[in-house]
Structure 1
Amino acid sequence: MSYQALYRVWRPQRFMDLVGQEMVTKTLKNAIITHQTSHAYLFTGPRGTGKTSAAKIFAKAINCRFSKEGEPCNECETCKAITEGRLNDVIEIDAASNNGVEEIRDIRDKVKYAPTEADYKVYIIDEVHMLSTGAFNALLKTLEEPPANVVFILATTEPHKIPATIISRTQRFDFKRITAESILQRMIYILDQKNVDYDDKALKVIAKAAEGGMRDALSLLDQVISFGDNNVTLDNALLVTGSVTQESLFNYLKFVLSKDTTNALKEIQQIVEQGKDANRLIEDLINYCRDLLLYQQAPEMVSDGELGLLDDKFKELSQQINVTQLYQIIDELNKQQENMRFSSHQSIYLEVLTVKLTQLSTNSEADRVSNVDLSQIELLKQKIENLQRKVDNLSSNTVQTEKNNEPRKQVRKNTTKGQKNVKINLSQVYSVLNNATRQSLNELKQVWPDLMNMLSVTQRAIMHVSEPVAASENGVVVGFEYAFLCQKALEDQELIDTLENGLDRLIGKVPSLVLIPVENWPEIRSNYLKQRKNGAVVIADDTSEQSQDNDDQSASTQPTIIQKAEELFGTDIVEIKND
């Protein structure tokens, strides 16, 4: 008999032989044992994970009359006929080459006939996603209402290309990628059965290169055995798979990190001269960097995934390289891998990549931007702290002055020249109080922090000790903890404009702002309430004013011409003389 490939000779013949698909095999076996099999199944998953093998085993199991615990006996005539592919009741169809409407209509016409030898007629349609739209429509009705003794098994690597109407009429089983450890154990079992000498490291290289597909792993193993004359060595495995040794990857990355462009280029040239595939080299570098990145966070996970291939050099490199460098290297490798896909001069791309990697900056652009932002923030913090200290010093001086003048507060003093007093326009205050509501005040208090955030640092330093104390629909009385800051705010027209603009944006209107020292607020409110209690209409004259130290009596009325003069030139300059 002619030689058969390993993946054909060692194809699973029982559910227990399927490697890495325990959930699928257990479900199918239980369905067979309890006689709860469905009329249609959909097997999906990557190539070489056992979809078609599982379909054949299932076909044998439901037709085998000597099955035990859901497993076919593989000894009866039915099992042997299905294994050899000569049972007419188990039909395998390759949808890639039989994807037309006519082929599916032929199935639909023949499905109504009862099986000739077996209990069930089984249709195994491989690569079912290749069927045309018309073929899917022709298959749809048959899947929905098939005869009682017919089972459809659809297999595909691309389930997203199958119409939802087809998927909804099947039981779907997702075959997952087989772990490298499971592939390794299966290869060891096969080689032990064949009495072939092997190197453990060679099998680990093959298991990793297979990328979760058992068929790919056995095909590579077949090539290595043939190449090495029934001897599986590490060098032969590296040559067949096109993989690069861990030592070469380590040396290359070491030169890149030390910015040794010359030696890095020599290492690349040496790898290419050994016949290594450029795309495979990029893939190996990406996986190596990925392992370095994960090893810094979860060493056990990487050690298990790499099947113990990690050496001391790898562990040493993982401690030397930082995360930012790994991110940069992986990004560049990904970009170059995309560029090389359509190029016939891949070695040139490898050389350009090497030069680029050795010239990468230690700090990324994001780090530089972050450092600039941090420095600016620190500078702003220092400025705010300096302003706060100045305000505290002024406040302490004011408090000390008030303490020194406390015994003289009982007697009203005439304003001396050069001393600034806060003018309180009682007319504006009473106008707000006449229409003040708790709702308006609460609305202002809610938006006040947002309004403060709209101010500059200097403006915020003035307003940080203020808060609304009364508010109406069209006005708001703002109390200042320190009188000198209240006076400063009154003199700052730009600040008033900013506050009005901010209120317009926050509450959709511009109420008039009345600024007063908070120490005067209890007396103003008390006088206003007394007048309201007596039934008087509280209307203050527009020319009335209250001084900062005028706590015991209301503002005196001045002629309009004097009021205007004081508004224009200030009370420090205007001097009133009685005739």
Structure 2
Amino acid sequence: MECHTIMAYTALYRVYRPQTFQDVVGQEHVTTTLRNALREGRLSHAYLFNGPRGTGKTSAAKIMAKAVNCEQPQDGEPCNQCPTCRAITDGSVTDVLEIDAASNRGVEEIRDIRDKVRFAPSDVRYKVYIIDEVHMLTTEAFNALLKTLEEPPSHVIFILATTEPHKLPATIISRCQRFDFHRIPLKEMVKRLTYICEAQGVRVEPQALHLVAKMAEGGMRDALSLLDQAISYSKDEVRAADIMQITGTVSQGHFSVLAKYVAERDVSRVMEHFDRVMVQGKDPEQFLQDLLYYYRDMLLFKTAPQLEEIVERTMLDDQFAQVAGMYALPDVYAAIEICNQALAQLKWSTYARVLVELTLVKLCQPVKEAAAAPEAAAAGGAELAALANRVRTLEERLAQLMQGQAHVSAQPRTEEPRRAETRRPAAAARSSRTPMNKVREVAKAVDEALTRQVRGQWSQILADVKKIKIQYQAWLVNGQPAAAGRDAVVVTFTSPIHCEKTMEPELKGVVERVMLGVLGRPLQLLSVMEEEWQSVSQQAGQEEQPAQEEQDPFVAEAIRLVGEGLIEVKE
């Protein structure tokens, strides 16, 4: 009976994890400083390593732990040969502890560390605590860690690692030496990937390595994971097509052909080409994102062709240069803007492919700004001419007044009713969303006790609205509850914009739900301008007094025809 043994495979990013500072790629500004400090014995009690994922923060922390405890250090580097270095590499030294703050974020875990740091190390010279993703700690845990960082024992070194340093309290950061890890440059990453492929005996296309490095976006761990997957997928040689296949991206050749058809405004060929890409099983959102990067790289190529390093995902070959020559800069700007808007809409769309097809059709349409410019200029010229005429007329009238030639007649007296007449409809138009008959009902039957309750709890209502959406509270905060009736609350405003906005159905519904929760009874929100409410409340007060004039049929008919606000009855 044969027994087949399957050897355990170790991922590339674990096999080629840096063991010395010299192996850390693209972080010379960090490794040089640390090596100099180790060589001169200028060690700090706490370090903060921050930067993007996969750039060597945790690896540098482990190298640091070996270097401070190495029995035979060599120019600030661990020897990796002594028993201490080997034990730390194997993870068998209990005095070098790596903690994941994402899963050990509570105050109890940090208190346990605080209690144990007082004891001297048993196997090595320094106790080293590496706290990864330290920004995940709770506020209480940070407070417990703070005292230990402020006055640590001489035999303890803390190394904090995080991808989001802005989430750390300033009191923690100020007690650490901070080192910023950068994204690994493209050339450095390709050089490292080439070395690993040669060490593994893997044949790989140079273009494939460039594509892996660009898709990793500065993270060596991501690049090694993608390369590991590509090696497993390919047979004899890793090709760029293999990378595109396993990541679901579209080749640059497809985008160059598509961009050529877009520049020619050939919608039918654009849609045919897009359909061929979709038949291959590509994701529409990934396709649109890659198309956005293609146009972004085209913009950089046209404006700064010498900066090849900042090109994200495009190879600057002859085909790309030829297609870029078919585009003017306004066309590239418009294409980037259209793709960006479509990506934002794609998050809320159920039909991703339809939205991408709509975007491609938009790209084929000519830029309309140039055509719309003459019309806009003509409209702007007409408005300027009208304004100039009005200014000229006002200047002439002002000159006549200054010279005493203007004759002031009794016209203002006759115009005053007209002004009063126009003022009220304008106010009414501004609050057209509010049913004024409902406002009059509240004015006639004000519930004083409920009004006092609303005013007393208005701040609580505003606070609850702010919890739902701060913009709603900003629109409502300028209002003042004037009166409450049986089933409605009148809120007055001095700004017509705020008055109008608070009566929009969505915002009004939120406020009414909050009032129901705070006051315990359903009330309708009625937003009106302050002068409107004063007029309505005065009329309600007059109607409560017995008035024989209202019994006059002529007055009643006049009110029916033109409304109460425009009728004034004199003795």
TM-score over 0.5 for the alignment? yes
Q: Look up the match of 1:404.
A: none
Deviation (angstroms), 1:368: 5.1
Does the C-alpha gap of structure 1 residues 276 and 179 become closer, same or farther in structure 2, counting only changes over 3 Å?
farther
2:98 corresponds to 1:92: yes
Indicate if the aligned counterparts of 2:241 and 2:251 stay in contact, CA closer than 8 A: no
- Aligned partner of residue 299 in structure 1, secondary structure: coil
Indicate if the aligned counterparts of 2:300 and 2:311 stay in contact, CA closer than 8 A: no
Cα distance in 1 between the residues matched to 2:253 and 2:390: 60
Cα distance in 1 between the residues matched to 2:343 and 2:14: 34
Deviation (angstroms), 1:98: 0.6
Q: Deviations over 1:407-443 (max 9, x none)?
A: xxxxxxxxxxxxxxxxxxxxxxxxxxxxxxxxxxxxx
Aligned residues: 398
Match of 2:88 among 54, 79, 82: 82
Match of 1:349 among 347, 350, 355: 355
Q: Look up the match of 2:147.
A: 141
What letter is aligned with 1:83? T
- Aligned partner of residue 369 in structure 2, secondary structure: coil
Match of 1:153 among 147, 153, 159: 159
- Aligned partner of residue 154 in structure 1, secondary structure: strand
2:277 corresponds to 1:267: no
What letter is aligned with 2:77? E
Indicate if the aligned counterparts of 2:49 and 2:159 stay in contact, CA closer than 8 A: yes
What letter is aligned with 1:209? M
Deviation (angstroms), 1:183: 1.2
Indicate if the aligned counterparts of 2:215 and 2:313 stay in contact, CA closer than 8 A: no
Cα distance in 2 between the residues matched to 1:198 and 1:368: 56
Match of 2:253 among 226, 242, 247: 247
2:120 corresponds to 1:118: no
Does the C-alpha gap of structure 1 residues 494 and 97 become closer, same or farther in structure 2, counting only changes over 3 Å?
closer
Q: Deviations over 1:81-104 (max 9, x none)?
A: 111111111100011111111111
Indicate if the aligned counterparts of 2:211 and 2:313 stay in contact, CA closer than 8 A: no
Q: Look up the match of 1:130.
A: 136
Question: Which aligned pairs between 1:339-378 and structure 2 lie closer than 5 A?
Answer: 339-363=345-369, 367=373, 371-372=377-378
Q: Look up the match of 1:508.
A: none
Match of 1:164 among 134, 145, 170: 170
- Give the RMSD, CA atoms, in angstroms: 2.8
Q: Look up the match of 1:45.
A: 51
Cα distance in 2 between the residues matched to 1:104 and 1:230: 51
Q: Deviations over 1:355-395 (max 9, x none)?
A: 22223534368845775489779x98xxxxxxxxxxxxxxx
Q: Deviations over 1:288-309 (max 9, x none)?
A: 1111111122101036746982
What letter is aligned with 1:206? V
- Aligned partner of residue 243 in structure 2, secondary structure: helix
Question: Which aligned pairs between 1:517-528 and structure 2 lie closer than 5 A?
Answer: none
Question: Which aligned pairs between 1:50-65 and structure 2 lie closer than 5 A?
Answer: 50-65=56-71
Deviation (angstroms), 1:209: 0.7
Q: Look up the match of 2:307.
A: 301
Q: Look up the match of 1:283.
A: 289
2:322 corresponds to 1:311: no
Q: Deviations over 1:478-532 (max 9, x none)?
A: xxxxxxxxxxxxxx666455999xxxxxxxxxxxxxxxxxxxxxxxxxxxxxxxx
Indicate if the aligned counterparts of 2:20 and 2:78 stay in contact, CA closer than 8 A: yes
2:344 corresponds to 1:335: no
Cα distance in 1 between the residues matched to 2:232 and 2:390: 79
Could you tell me which runs of 5 or more consecutive residues in structure 1 were left unpaired when the two chains were aligned: 381-452, 464-491, 501-579
Cα distance in 2 between the residues matched to 1:66 and 1:344: 62
Does the C-alpha gap of structure 1 residues 64 and 373 become closer, same or farther in structure 2, counting only changes over 3 Å?
farther
2:216 corresponds to 1:210: yes
Indicate if the aligned counterparts of 2:67 and 2:78 stay in contact, CA closer than 8 A: yes
Could you tell me which runs of 5 or more consecutive residues in structure 2 were left unpaired when the two chains were aligned: 1-6, 405-571
What letter is aligned with 2:18? P
Q: Percent identity?
A: 49
Cα distance in 2 between the residues matched to 1:94 and 1:244: 37
Does the C-alpha gap of structure 1 residues 61 and 344 become closer, same or farther in structure 2, counting only changes over 3 Å?
farther
Indicate if the aligned counterparts of 1:255 and 1:264 stay in contact, CA closer than 8 A: yes
What letter is aligned with 1:33? R
Q: Look up the match of 1:177.
A: 183
- Rg larger in structure: 1
TM-score of the pair, normalised by structure 2:
0.65
Does the C-alpha gap of structure 1 residues 307 and 68 become closer, same or farther in structure 2, counting only changes over 3 Å?
farther
What letter is aligned with 1:222? D
- Aligned partner of residue 266 in structure 1, secondary structure: helix
- Aligned partner of residue 310 in structure 1, secondary structure: coil
